Amino acid sequence: MLKVSLLPASYRKKVVGSKKKEQIKKISLVALIVLFMFFIVILGTRQYVSSEYDDIQKLNAEAVAMFPVLESYQALLNEVEAQKELLSLISAKEPYAHNFVVSLGNIDFPGLWLKKISANDWFYSKQCVIEGKCLSYNTLLEYIEKVKKIEGVLDVAITTFAYTNEKTDTGDRICDFNLTITCSGTGVKMETTTVAPTNSSDVSETKN
């Protein structure tokens, strides 16, 4: 069917132009909406990634801060394993030495407690080193007299003695000390008593 427009040519051009403008506006509006949604998605993703990155940074900082602690734990574990191995060797070759070390650990003495018993030089010098804490120099001297009564002990020497800033729960000042004990290497008998206190609160209780 043939259609003939009776409208003037100028009017027809205006109508066609206005329709094109409307189409362009619609297309532009759709494009703006799509771009806005895309921008929202990008912004949300960026915030999420930024939050995750901050969390990762915090975890990384915590992990880095834990390295020195883990290293100290590993060093302590290595030392414990080395001492266990050494004690195993001593126990196999020189049973009396093992009894001596156990006897030291079992001495019950108020106001004094042991931190470490090292027997690294036992095979060469029949010596062991004690690290511990006490409440006074006189307490340490009394402890030494008790150690000297263990059969096989030849000499007990104070290597170091120093007052610290540590205090017990009752306000008593705590001292650090090192002892070097020399044994004959034979005739050490097992001495078993109540296990010595292992913390400051126990020391305070035994002192009172």
127-134/153-167 β-pairing: unpaired
Residues 6+ apart with CB under 8 A from 185: 94, 96, 97, 126, 152
Fold adopted by 95-207: Alpha-Beta Plaits (3.30.70)
Which DSSP category does 197 fall into? P
pLDDT at 7 over 60: no
pLDDT at 172 over 80: yes
Domain-wise residue ranges, the chain:
12-93, 95-207
Cα 130 to Cα 104, 120, 174, 190: the distances in Å are 9, 11, 16, 18
Strand order through the sheet with 112-118: 112-118, 127-134, 173-183, 153-167
Averaged pLDDT, 102-122: 79
How many Cβ atoms are within 10 Å of 146's Cβ, its own excluded? 15
The residue among 112 and 89 whose pLDDT is bigger is: 112
pLDDT at 166 over 80: yes
The 10s digit of each residue's pLDDT in 73-104 is: 777 677 667 666 666 665 556 666 777 777 77
The 10s digit of each residue's pLDDT in 133-154 is: 999 999 999 999 989 888 888 8
Would you say the C-alpha torsion 69, 75, 79, 84 has a positive or negative sign? Answer: positive
Task: Give the pLDDT score at 44.
Answer: 79
The residue among 65 and 156 whose pLDDT is bigger is: 156
Average pLDDT, the chain: 73
Task: Give the pLDDT score at 138.
Answer: 92
Cα 78 to Cα 27, 67, 75, 185: the distances in Å are 73, 16, 5, 27
Cβ atoms of residues 151 and 183 within 8 Å? no
How many Cβ atoms are within 10 Å of 199's Cβ, its own excluded? 11
Task: Give the pLDDT score at 159.
Answer: 92
Q: Which of 49-53, 79-83, 148-152, 181-185 shows the lowest per-residue confidence on average (mean pLDDT)?
A: 79-83
Distance CA 115, CA 131 (A): 5
Q: What pTM was computed for the model?
A: 0.47
